[in-house]
Amino acid sequence: MDISQIILLSLKVSIVAMLASLPIAFLLAYVLARGRFAGKILLDALVSLPLVLPPVVTGWLLLLAFGNTGPVGRLLNTTLGFTFMFRWTGAALAAAIMALPLMVRAMRLSIEAVDRRLEGAARTLGASPTRVFFSITLPLSVPGILAGAVLGFARSMGEFGATITFVSNIPGETQTLPIAIHAALQNPGGEGIVTQLTLTSVALSFCALLASEVLARRSAVNKGHDHVL
Amino acid sequence: MSFSVDVEKQLGDARIALRFEAAAGITALFGPSGSGKSSVLNMIAGLMRPDRGTIRVEERLLFDSMAGVNLPPEQRRLGYVFQDARLFPHRRVRANLLYGYHLAPEEARWMTCEQAVDFLGIGHLLDRWPATLSGGEAQRVAIGRALLSGARFLLMDEPLAALDRSRREEILRVIERIRDEMRLPILYVSHDRGEVDRLAASVIAMPETATG
């Protein structure tokens, strides 16, 4: 087992999962925070579903939809020649789906905390709704966006159940840190590797949490007001 | 007429209906809290849509329910000074002052940032964050921000209510100078008789809001 390969793969999967879900998470958070439409409760529940479903169920559903015989999987395969099955991209997809609810929650709180009266003030100063969004709403939501991103990254690093169900355990392709730890535990005499991987895992998660705290504090201290999360 | 307003709006159980015309200078909208004064300002600013009526400022039609005219706030060319200054917390004082200035078309600007800073005596605050300002300082910045946006008239919603006595006097003098030197029409909301008597050329008493 090549530890650095496992770590690099885990980082790649988690970073791609986090970056790809960032805009989607923000859009969902914005719609849930500000939108008024029928079915909002349903959308809210749907987004949160991976949080409460057994991860193995989420993985199975991903397999049904994105597997080579599934509707989305077949479409991607025939049109783009792209497949998620047994590829690191599939691991990233599973991680993104599992991280999405946490990211949406953090961002939604921060969007809801934006004082809408400031947006009104900006309108009277000559700003169109689009400009208000980019100059007021978005920058004031940044602490929540960063917190959501870090949380999403950390959750992706820890993702196991959905990933192993969806893309299995292929060293060098889908064998991320937790899956490697699980595999090493099955081998007699694998304790040494398990210890190394575990320490790495703890260190990475700790750094991510530390980073999120530092980011939140810095954006709060600079401006002399309390941050919202 | 500087302001020519005739609006009606049902807000929950309360019905706001007000009609007035006002000449140059400061016009005070006077009445107890909860009588809908701020709602009237919000309707004139375009932040709240009246159910029915017309709003004209300096002969410019801003809203007419019959004709289907409803200019968005960013096209009404107004300066709104709120009770809480509502400065943008993520921008320093200088960036707050320039927010509306940069958005205003060149021909609409009638004051430079330097002039506003001198007029309000806020040169030492430019690099500060809004959260570090006192109430009086924040209110002066808010007034500067409104003037710099190329405003043709001002709406002031209890701009002194959150200040202590000595700061009040400072801001009152600023408002008097805006009235006398810049000759901007101002609609001034207050529940303080003293302020109103000192500032306003005419006083509109808010009618009791009808319930039901």
SS (H, E, C) chain B: CCEEEEEEEEECCEEEEEEEEECCCEEEEECCCCCCHHHHHHHHHCCCCCCEEEEEECCEEEEECCCCEECCHHHCCEEEECCCCCCCCCCCHHHHHHHHHHHCCHHHCCCCHHHHHHHHCCHHHCCCCHHHCCHHHHHHHHHHHHHHCCCCEEEEECCCCCCCHHHHHHHHHHHHHHHHHHCCCEEEEECCHHHHHHHCCEEEECCCCEEC
Closest residue on chain B to A223 (Cα): B129
Q: Where are the domains of chain A?
A: 3-223
User: What pLDDT score does A227 carry?
Assistant: 39
A3-223 folds as: MetI-like fold (1.10.3720)
Determine, for residues A122 and B78 on separate chains, whether the beta-carbon distance falls below 8 Å: no
Q: Does A126 touch chain B (CB under 8 A)?
A: yes
Distance CA A97, CA A89 (A): 12
Burial class from Cβ neighbours inside 10 Å (0-12, 13-18, 19+) for residue A179 reads buried
Check if the beta carbon of residue A73 is closer than 8 Å to that of residue A66. yes
Q: Does A225 touch chain B (CB under 8 A)?
A: yes
Determine, for residues A223 and B90 on separate chains, whether the beta-carbon distance falls below 8 Å: yes
User: What pLDDT score does A53 carry?
Assistant: 95
Check if the beta carbon of residue B178 is closer than 8 Å to that of residue B144. no
Residue at token pair 């950390």: A154
**Measuring CA to CA, which residue among B8, B11, B18 is closest to residue B207?**
B18
Determine, for residues B103 and A125 on separate chains, whether the beta-carbon distance falls below 8 Å: yes
Q: Does A123 touch chain B (CB under 8 A)?
A: yes
The nearest CA of chain B is from the CA of A225 a distance in Å of 6
Determine, for residues A135 and B73 on separate chains, whether the beta-carbon distance falls below 8 Å: no
pLDDT tens, residue order, chain A (229 aa) = 688 999 999 999 999 999 999 999 999 999 999 999 999 999 999 999 999 999 999 999 999 999 888 999 999 988 988 889 889 999 999 999 999 999 999 999 999 999 999 999 999 999 999 999 999 999 999 988 998 999 899 999 999 999 999 999 999 999 999 999 999 999 888 888 899 999 999 998 888 888 878 877 766 655 655 434 3
Q: Give mean pLDDT, residues B92-121.
A: 96
pTM confidence score: 0.87
Residues B9, B14, B17, B22, Cα dihedral to 10°? -100
Residues of B with CB under 8 A from a CB of A: 42, 45-47, 72-74, 76-80, 82, 86, 88-90, 99-100, 103-104, 129-132, 145-146, 149-150
Q: Does A217 touch chain B (CB under 8 A)?
A: no
Distance CA B151, CA B144 (A): 11
Please count the residues of chain A.
Answer: 229
Residue A73 is encoded by which pair of tokens? 């999987």
CA B181 centroid distance within chain: 17
Q: Give mean pLDDT, residues B86-113.
A: 96
Q: Which residues of B touch A218 (CB under 8 A)?
A: none
